Amino acid sequence: MTAIPDDPSSLAPPFRSPGEKPRSPKDTLALAVEQFNAGAYFACHETLEELWLAEKEPLRALYQGILQIAVALFHERQGNRRGAVRLLESGMALCTPFSPTAQGLDVAGLLAGAGDCLAALCEAPGSGSGNPPASCSLRITYSSDPTGDGSDRFQP
């Protein structure tokens, strides 16, 4: 089986160079979304980890949940279906309290897509093929929050 590399080389690195201006949390989240949507799941993990470590509850759980969903998709690409299923389940559980939207993200849409992916992985025979089912082609989209001011920050 040939593993599909998670090559984030076309995207900005998650870590800053010495003297580089720090990114704002909003810019860091935007980079993580870009990486996730490009299939650079490991890079997304690294970028979200930066937010996750700096954030306090309750948002910390949202970032951890998205991070786990990204790592689940990375595991599926590597042929580790069991690990992908476990991380999808835990990532979805962490994101659920933030549905339908948080931080300008369509959390409900992410959860629906992750649920479809989870169902496909659980129904498919054998271990991961390195080619995730089509239903695992998740994208993170932005909510229709016109203000972008975080007023949808946390919705239990």
Q: Which one has a higher pLDDT value, 8 or 39?
A: 39
pTM above 0.85, yes or no: no
pLDDT band at residue 145, thresholds of 50, 70 and 90?
low
Domain ranges of the chain: 25-136
Fold (topology level) of 25-136: Hyaluronidase domain-like (1.10.3450)
Cα-based angle 96, 100, 102 (whole degrees, multiple of 5) = 85
Alpha helix (H) ranges present in the chain?
25-37, 41-54, 59-77, 81-95, 107-123
Segment 138-147 shows an average pLDDT of 75
* Burial label, 27 (beta-carbon count in 10 A; 0-12, 13-18, 19+): exposed
pLDDT band at residue 144, thresholds of 50, 70 and 90?
confident
Residue 30 has pLDDT above 70, yes or no: yes
